[in-house]
């Protein structure tokens, strides 16, 4: 099973930010977009619930997680390269499971 920690590591590396920024309260796009992508991947690749994902990303409320999912769905629909990048991270995660 893929862990949220491995998702955070890969997303932080791809975004060239510190992993701790994915759980921080910083709201700039430089940090919030990778956080949203990590939340999106955690929701789609792990069995965790919205409240559990929120706790793993800085003790956020489930509604904040839901908002992040909606925002990143829209972003990925408008930016095919970002969608490809997210798919590449999923491929790496699935490869590491075996």
Alpha carbons 34 and 38: distance in angstroms, whole number = 6
Alpha carbons 87 and 93: distance in angstroms, whole number = 10
Structural domain span for residue 34: 4-97
Q: Is 96's pLDDT higher than 90?
A: no
pLDDT, one tens digit per residue, over 50-81 is 999 999 999 999 999 999 999 999 999 999 99
How many other CB atoms sit within 10 Å of the CB of residue 62?
14
Asked whether the CA dihedral 67, 71, 77, 82 is positive or negative, the reply is: negative
35 token code pair: 């956080």
Could you give the number of structural domains in the chain?
1
77 token code pair: 């629909």
Supply the CATH number for residue 46's domain. Answer: 1.10.1750.10
Q: Is 47's pLDDT higher than 80?
A: yes
């Amino acid at each position: 099973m893929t862990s949220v920690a491995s998702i955070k590591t890969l997303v932080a590396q791809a975004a060239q930010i510190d992993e701790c920024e994915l759980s921080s309260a910083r709201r700039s796009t430089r940090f919030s977009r990778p956080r949203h992508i990590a939340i999106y991947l955690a929701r789609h690749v792990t069995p965790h619930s919205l409240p559990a994902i929120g706790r793993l990303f800085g003790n956020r409320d489930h509604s904040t997680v839901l908002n992040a999912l909606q925002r990143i769905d829209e972003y990925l629909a408008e930016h095919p390269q970002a969608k490809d990048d997210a798919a590449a991270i999923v491929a790496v995660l699935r490869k590491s499971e075996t």
